[in-house]
Structure 1
């Protein structure tokens, strides 16, 4: 699995193993496991959080399903921000997320991205022989990958496009395939697509189930208070402004 880490600070002596309550745990940074579509937005929000609180934040970005499995297996994470509701709800049922901390913090949007050499205007353009490879995140553990499959199925294109599909571990890797020319087009989050040499168009949201991006605090976290402050920043005016700037929709307050 491709895991991208940003905003790293040195981990304290208690940084390994399952969350605990020792002095080492209290010294380590706030650890946030976040869906890959949050890479740009949460990196910015993390800097705001550190400026406001003095608390360092370490991010692990990846596919929501992969991160959820790590948390369920005891990874030392304080807060989980998924790209849908299902993985957080599963962890609540498993006793791994505090139920009262569950919040829908953003609404995700799927776009069709392509390099400048192979512009596309709609999903039907993916049938063009000039589009040889289409990158999507693996639907088995990435909510945007699942949304991509739903959109293509709704448009009647999923089966026809099977020979062109390139499955990525997460949405950031799917976009990287397009950026490097290893794929001609990709179905990726709006929040990642506004980068040089990439064009994109929105995918009709009626073609896929809503992506209600949800967060929760990991049960037993030694940094629960800080995790709650981070969640408040994400869902408050400053965090919502950042999320909106990166193309997320906002749930009702």
Structure 2
């Protein structure tokens, strides 16, 4: 091959390579991975979708009871951001050095309610000494397990109201608050204790009454970057977005309150 032919072949090769690079799609962004309490699923899915539309940054979610998530993070689960349904499980991971302390913030607040199937005629005012056991009849009270925030709030409320001992042997335990909601929605339990935001999502249930805030610890949803997420600039951007006006509007639409400490 002559020098002229070699130069022509080299030029053609470089041109083809250049066209390939121009035609190749931009490298996809790595998603931000968020581990969050099950009660946030609908709201966070909407927030994440809006964020991705506006920024091009994908966000993926894993939902479960806060207790289960905290233990998963402890075992090395690849979470960039943790949103808990209470402060205790956020404290759990914080004490183990698994979050970035400076990133922690209280995002949202909620309320605890007593629910019944939509067709149920049961009426019960929540007050000290209320006849909860009698109202259950032969049924059970659906509640999240005691290590789950919703279950802990529920037990605290019933204890404060002086009725826990009358029903503690008649609990239908659920792995998380959404599962407790399903027990009632399917008619498997005549009453259940869930978050107000969950109850409003399912037409198969109705709210019987709201627990007084003084009957249980404040229902607060803290969020923080994990130690892994602290090194991920995209994760920090999504956490900041959760405190912004667009996300706040979505959370309020689902019935959450915005915490003053935000």
Shared fold, TM over 0.5: yes
Q: Are 1:150 and 2:140 counterparts?
A: no
CA contact (8 A) 2:106 2:223 kept: yes
Q: Which residue pairs with 2:124 in the alignment?
A: 121
Q: Which residue pairs with 1:181 in the alignment?
A: 187
Q: 1:89-168 maps to which residues of 2 (within 5 A)?
A: 89-118=91-120, 119-123=122-126, 124=130, 126-127=132-133, 128-130=135-137, 132-140=139-147, 142-168=148-174
> Tell me, which stretches of 5 or more residues in structure 2 are unaligned?
1-27
Q: CA deviation at 1:126?
A: 2.7
Q: CA deviation at 1:225?
A: 1.4
2 CA distance for matches of 1:222 and 1:232?
Answer: 13
Q: Are 1:76 and 2:78 counterparts?
A: yes
TM-score (norm 1): 0.84
Q: 1:129 to 1:33 in 2, by over 3 A?
A: closer
Q: CA deviation at 1:125?
A: 5.2
Q: CA deviation at 1:54?
A: 1.2
CA contact (8 A) 1:46 1:57 kept: yes
Aligned-partner SS, 1:187? strand
> Tell me, which stretches of 5 or more residues in structure 1 are unaligned?
1-25
Q: Give 1 or 2 for the bigger CA radius of gyration.
A: 2
Q: CA deviation at 1:129?
A: 4.4
CA contact (8 A) 1:106 1:251 kept: yes
CA contact (8 A) 2:136 2:191 kept: no
Q: 1:129 to 1:101 in 2, by over 3 A?
A: closer
CA contact (8 A) 1:114 1:120 kept: no
Q: Deviations over 1:156-185 (max 9, x none)?
A: 111101232111000011101111111111
Q: 1:197 to 1:214 in 2, by over 3 A?
A: same
Q: Which residue pairs with 1:210 in the alignment?
A: 218
Q: Which residue pairs with 1:240 in the alignment?
A: 248
CA contact (8 A) 2:79 2:228 kept: no
Q: CA deviation at 1:62?
A: 0.9
Q: 1:45 to 1:131 in 2, by over 3 A?
A: farther
How many aligned positions are there?
A: 227
Q: Deviations over 1:193-225 (max 9, x none)?
A: 112121113111110011221011111238721
- Higher deviation after alignment, 68-77 or 234-243: 234-243
CA contact (8 A) 2:33 2:78 kept: yes
Q: Which residue pairs with 2:65 in the alignment?
A: 63
Q: CA deviation at 1:191?
A: 1.3
2 CA distance for matches of 1:221 and 1:236?
Answer: 19
Aligned-partner SS, 1:113? strand
2 CA distance for matches of 1:216 and 1:131?
Answer: 43
Q: 1:125 to 1:53 in 2, by over 3 A?
A: farther
